Amino acid sequence: MPKPLIGLTTYLAHAQWAEWELPAALLPAAYNSCVQAAGGRVVLLPPDVPEAAADVVARLDGIVLTSGEDVDPALYGAQPHPCTGPPVHERDRWEWAVLSEALARDMPVLGVCRGMQLLNVHAGGTLIQHLPEAVGHHGHNLHGGHFSPHAVTTVPGTRIAALLPGTRHVATHHHQAVESLGAGLVVGARTADGTIEAIESTRHRFVVGVQWHPEMAFDSAVVHALVAAARSTPPVPPAPSRAGERRARVRRSAPEVTGTTAVS
């Protein structure tokens, strides 16, 4: 049986390697390695026009919405906080369209950090734009450019609790978090300060978001579960009329592209 093909969304950033310094579609290699170690094949999904999402998603067995820049607050009806990074409209619009198509097909989706936040916003939820103001400490993002460990406790009875029961330390690096839950989502894990650290859909066979970085542990149960779900059941083709409605919603909801700004 062929290994399931998992699409990983990417940054669109100015990067330097060897003697080159150019715009690049890039992603930390830990994502590739983690999915491959779990038994999946990997294809990278750099930002594209939203209209391309249906064709791309139809070729895949699962999706990972990866980490990265802050989600544009306009997508959940908020003004930007001073600590919120500049929006990257190309990425927001592309990932919104990819997620819409994946959900319509009941395709397995894993959202990591920013990806979990996008899952929540797509379902109508909102975000805390600067978490230290809400929890009174910087424990979720201690050092710029480095992952820090903190404890999360999963909620009994959820999918994530079946994979990771109880309390454990995870790799974290985030200054934003889920505020109000989107429709059809439940909390899968929290930290001691009450921050939501995992969410999952009650409407789909495998749609899970984690605020931490499972790609930093190559035996991650969460990533193995995504690949297993992608292998087990073919996704359902969406009805053409519903797909058209989703693409129209993406165009209405996402802000116009005014340039590309990348932040880490």
Active-site positions read 113, 213, 215
- With a CB cutoff of 8 Å and minimum separation 6, the contacts of 131 are 140, 141, 174, 175, 176, 177, 195
- Residue 258: both structure tokens together: 């005014």
Q: How far is CA 131 from the centre of its chain?
A: 18
What does the alpha-carbon distance between residue 4 and residue 246 come to, in Å, rounded to a whole number?
A: 25
Q: What angle do CA 162, 67, 83 make, to 5 degrees?
A: 120
- Residue 179: both structure tokens together: 């505020």
CB burial class (10 A; 0-12, 13-18, 19+) of residue 16? exposed
- With a CB cutoff of 8 Å and minimum separation 6, the contacts of 54 are 101, 238, 243, 247
Using an 8 Å Cβ cutoff, are 8 and 45 in contact?
A: yes
- With a CB cutoff of 8 Å and minimum separation 6, the contacts of 149 are 169, 170, 171, 172
What does the alpha-carbon distance between residue 130 and residue 189 come to, in Å, rounded to a whole number?
A: 19
- Residue 113: both structure tokens together: 């950090």
Which DSSP letter does residue 215 get? G
